Structure 1
Amino acid sequence: MTRDAIPARPGDGDGEDGRGTPVGRRVVLGMLGAGAAGVAAAPFLQRAYDSTLGAAAQKDPTGLTGLLPAGGGFRYYSVTGSVPHKDERTYRLTLDGLVRRRVTYRLDDLRRLPQTRLVRDVQCVTGWRVPGTPFEGVRLADLLDDAGVRPEAKAVRFTCFDGAYSESLTLEQARRGDVLVALRMQDKPIGHAHGGPVRLYVAPMYFYKSAKWLSTITVTERVEPGYWEERGYDVDAWVGRSNGRDDAPTT
């Protein structure tokens, strides 16, 4: 069952998992710019996304493969050299911490829960945007209610099966109706390069908050800065109102 979508607002969303330090990724991209044309010309990168571009993206933390045809406007970032693949048999999502009961979900378990579909712009803090991108999944608030959040809880921490990435939200932010544990993107199952089979989707924040390859949701006493916050990004990543920007759309 799919719930009614929350109306889209121009500019909501954001780009993939980050950019290194606030200056570092731009420096790297500048250094690699001269080579980008040569990479773009490589014939094998023009084949189908799932079989070739997606695989190349996993070896390209700079995101340059996202500039190629079939990239769909996305830049593909990973903070590790490789990420294991999870499927119907091996994927598990655990919700633990300051809850009344620890819960573990399989993919089928998540699919059986009420689904919410959102259509928003994906907006990266580094500047690129993919407009009108559908995401579908379970509202994080529903999973928190299912586990029973304890009174002393104030925040939620997310960790990922790449073994390195993490993110956090306040409990109030996590309970928003536009924060999903996403199973589908662009009306199809989320592929590995996009953080599948399950990723976080925080619609009103820059996309580094939408952690890929989600494996654990932990309810905590305080917000713990995530991977990119520890490297200079804002903890509260509202689109247009954070990370030195003041260009939020009028709503």
Structure 2
Amino acid sequence: MPAEKPSAQDRPGAPVGRRVVLGLLAAGAAGVLGGAQLQKGLEAVLGPIGIRDPTGLVGLLPVGNTFRFYSVTSGAPKRDASNYRLDITGLVDNKRTHTLADLQAMPQTNLVRDFQCVTGWRVPEVHWSGVRLSDLLDDAGVNSAATAVRFTSFDGTYSESLTLAQARRADVLVALEMIDGPVTHNHGGPVRLYVAPMYGYKSCKWLSGIELTSEVVPGYWEHRGYSIDGWVGQSNGRNDDPTS
């Protein structure tokens, strides 16, 4: 999801030039001083730039309560109703492969919750809609040996995990819609994970795989020092134990 503010060495892609960055910083300051209309214009421009910014500086711009778009790769391939697949594998009784149409036909749950990035920015009262992860797990049948769930992305790199108890929370969705329509590609669509009570790095974008495992498998950012349990307000997102 999104995947939150990777470092330059972890996120390949075409760099944003120094002049562009300086210009954006100036424009961001103007947006704060120039009112809501200019601010909206900046948000429209900065979103597409942010997804391929290896410097991370775009995430620091004062663009208001809006999403910043990050990817830990140079970008994910696009998927739509014709080629999207979600595989449920691992310690399950029945492996499943769901198309986008399959997921859309299932009972949908609506939530209005904030999205909090570990880097500090927040988008309040986002409208989310999708299939409860617990419903998908029940449909596949969870083996008694399973204690955790691992998620993979069709960007080919990103992964995340939850304990089985966390995954069964009513506010954890396999999201098909957010804000005011289908989840867009930049937001991690057509299907992404949304873990309401945790920082955004736990909400895997471009979701392609759900695997039941016997133990928690640390995800992309956990291998880079982030907490496995990314509860908003109970963790700063970083693992503070220097021995870990």
TM-score with structure 1 length normalisation?
Answer: 0.78
Greater relative CO, 1 or 2 (CA 8 Å, sep 6+): 1
Task: State the percentage of identical aligned residues.
Answer: 56
CA distance in 2, matches of 1:67, 1:73: 11
Matched residue, 1:64: 58
CA distance in 2, matches of 1:96, 1:205: 24
Matched residue, 2:223: 230
CA distance in 1, matches of 2:199, 2:224: 15
CA distance in 1, matches of 2:217, 2:201: 15
Pairing 1:134-149 to 2, within 5 Å after superposition: 134-149=127-142
Pairing 1:229-248 to 2, within 5 Å after superposition: 229-243=222-236
Pairing 1:37-116 to 2, within 5 Å after superposition: 37-39=22-24, 41=27, 46=41, 49=44, 54-61=47-54, 62=56, 64=58, 67=61, 73-116=66-109
Amino acid at match of 1:216: G
Amino acid at match of 1:107: L
1:199 and 2:185 aligned: no
- The alpha carbon displacement at 1:244 in A equals 6.6
TM-score with structure 2 length normalisation?
Answer: 0.80
Which of 140, 160, 168 is residue 161 of structure 2 equivalent to? 168
Measured on the aligned residues, the alpha-carbon RMSD in Å equals 2.9
CA contact (8 A) 1:66 1:72 kept: no
Pair 1:128–1:47, CA change in 2 (3 A): closer
Matched residue, 2:34: none
Matched residue, 1:20: 6
CA distance in 1, matches of 2:72, 2:94: 32
The answer for unaligned runs of 5 or more in structure 2 is: 11-16, 29-39, 239-244
Pair 1:244–1:138, CA change in 2 (3 A): closer
Specify the SS of the correspondent of 1:108.
helix
CA contact (8 A) 2:148 2:161 kept: yes
CA distance in 2, matches of 1:243, 1:65: 17
Which of 146, 167, 170 is residue 177 of structure 1 equivalent to? 170
